[in-house]
Amino acid sequence: MIIKKFIAKDFQGALKQAKKEMGSDAIILHTSKLRRGGILSFLFAPQVEITVAVDEKLQVNSDRLRKPVSSPVVATEANGPESSLQDRDPGEKTRAQTAPGELLQELQTMKNLMKEVKNKISEVEQIKGISQEVQPFYETLLNNQVDKELALSIISRVESRLPRDSKGDDELWVRDLCLHTVQEYIKEIRPIDLPWDRKGVLVFMVGPTGVGKTTTIAKLAANMSFLEGKDVALITLDTYRVSAAQQLRTFAEIIGIPISVVFNPQDLGAAIHHYQEKDVIFVDTAGRSPYKDEHMEELQEFIEVANPDETILVLSVTTDSSDLINIYQKFNHIGVDKIIFTKLDESYSYGRILNTIYHIRKPIAYLTTGQNVPDDIEVPDTLDLARMLLREGGGL
């Protein structure tokens, strides 16, 4: 699409120019009257400007077109200073040369801007009703990456619980109310359940690549074995890389527990049977892309054979909230029971934990806070989590 402007004394003149140059397929986009500015403007007659567009392909094929595509943007019938480009504002020149794609992009930017302004206005409206002593907690939640909507919902609930006669003289009291309210938004904390009267509890660890599945299994296996005196066995399905199976094998040797490497669903059944007298069997899976159907189907086959007691999705808090939720939704096709959030030492964005948990409504099993096996893992406490979310500047 080519767009050009034509200026003449009257509409007919401008149209004649346009048809001559652009051909009769040209479409008139815009017509306007131009008047030269300044104190002598009355000396000059007004002019007519028309903006015309023509399809490039039509134009190339047409003999009617006299000038090349790169011809000057403005053709004028009248000679003299009033018809030159300098007489008009510089913005008009830019607009005349803007391609339709760019215009669309500009329009989109404007639309996004309008949306942002609208959201900001509605946010300000909602914040207006919140007491001054509560508002700083809203800011802190946002700084810790809690989603705006969720943060608003939390502080609105806090506000509704403030006694009407409190005059903000008790800051600590408001803080306690915030801590209490945030805790309500954290769904359950539920670590792996090992009933005393059951053997062979089967736990699958699934998740995207590199989030810390294998390291987390090593931490849990070591703690359960050393601290709780449990009989633990490991199975790895990660046979895609030589180093992967070796990684878990090394941990197993250090801890002193058995490990089996399994290549297909049939062998998995046999391995589970082999360890049925153990207290707990951890199954490490290869990091898989949740967006590749064949990866998820393969995992599904293993899950169907094994029928695990718990399938735990491992997610890293270094991942964006929206990605975390998308990843969960993909993995949940195989049935996710609990979540482990890893790498809390690498990010202060604890809000992502709350955003995800609030959205997916599944319990948190553990949080991991570093690379050290077996130390850097903990069963979170909702109060500690709430404190982290309400702490300015983050920090564990």
As measured in angstroms, the least distance from the Cβ of 199 to Mg ion is 26
* Residue 160 interacts with which of ligand GTP, Mg ion, none, CB < 5 to 8 Å by class: none
Q: Which of residues 78-137 bind Mg ion (CB under 5 A)?
A: none
Planar angle of CA 368, 222, 245, nearest 5 degrees: 85
What distances in angstroms separate CA 364 from CA 29, 176, 260, 354, one per listed residue? 59, 23, 28, 10
345 binds ligand GTP (CB under 6 A): yes
Which listed range, 10-18, 116-124, 208-216, 374-382, lies at the site for Mg ion (CB under 5 A)? 208-216
Kindly give the pairing relationship between strand 310-316 and strand 201-206: parallel
369 binds ligand GTP (CB under 6 A): yes
382 binds ligand GTP (CB under 6 A): no
215 binds ligand GTP (CB under 6 A): yes
Rounded CA-CA distance 274/278 in Å is 9
Which listed range, 70-78, 214-222, 272-280, 317-325, lies at the site for Mg ion (CB under 5 A)? 214-222
215 binds Mg ion (CB under 5 A): no
As measured in angstroms, the least distance from the Cβ of 234 to ligand GTP is 13
316 binds Mg ion (CB under 5 A): no
Which listed range, 78-86, 99-107, 213-221, 305-313, lies at the site for ligand GTP (CB under 6 A)? 213-221
Which listed range, 47-55, 111-119, 121-129, 340-348, lies at the site for ligand GTP (CB under 6 A)? 340-348
Selected from 13, 287, 290, 351, the binder of ligand GTP by CB under 6 A is 287
Rounded CA-CA distance 153/346 in Å is 28
Q: Which residue is nearest to ligand GTP (CB)?
A: 287
Rounded to 5 degrees, φ, ψ at 355 are: -55, -45
As measured in angstroms, the least distance from the Cβ of 392 to ligand GTP is 23
49 binds ligand GTP (CB under 6 A): no
Structural contact between residues 14 and 51, judged by C-beta atoms closer than 8 angstroms: no
What distances in angstroms separate CA 355 from CA 5, 175, 185, 201, 297, one per listed residue? 52, 21, 9, 30, 28
Q: Which of residues 241-280 bind ligand GTP (CB under 6 A)?
A: 244
Which CB atom, from 17 or from 368, has the smaller least distance to ligand GTP? Answer: 368
Identify which of 338, 336, 385, 343 has the alpha carbon closest to the alpha carbon of residue 364: 338
What distances in angstroms separate CA 274 from CA 200, 259, 269, 367, 387, one per listed residue? 10, 11, 9, 30, 45
Selected from 17, 76, 140, 214, the binder of ligand GTP by CB under 6 A is 214
- Residue 360 is encoded by which pair of tokens? 């997916």
214 binds Mg ion (CB under 5 A): yes
* Residue 364 interacts with which of Mg ion, ligand GTP, none, CB < 5 to 8 Å by class: none
As measured in angstroms, the least distance from the Cβ of 371 to Mg ion is 13
Identify which of 307, 287, 273, 341 has the alpha carbon closest to the alpha carbon of residue 203: 307
Question: In the chain, where do the E strands start and end?
Answer: 2-8, 27-34, 47-54, 74-76, 201-206, 232-236, 259-261, 280-284, 310-316, 338-342, 364-368, 377-378
* Residue 345 interacts with which of Mg ion, ligand GTP, none, CB < 5 to 8 Å by class: ligand GTP
Selected from 76, 223, 260, 342, the binder of ligand GTP by CB under 6 A is 342
**Which residues, other chains included, contact 371 with Cβ-Cβ below 8 Å and sequence gap of 6+?**
215
Task: For residue 94, count other CB atoms closer than 10 A to its CB.
Answer: 10
As measured in angstroms, the least distance from the Cβ of 218 to ligand GTP is 8
Chain residues that interact with ligand GTP, rule: CB under 6 A: 207, 209-215, 238, 244, 286-287, 342-343, 345-346, 368-371, 376
Chain residues that interact with Mg ion, rule: CB under 5 A: 213-214
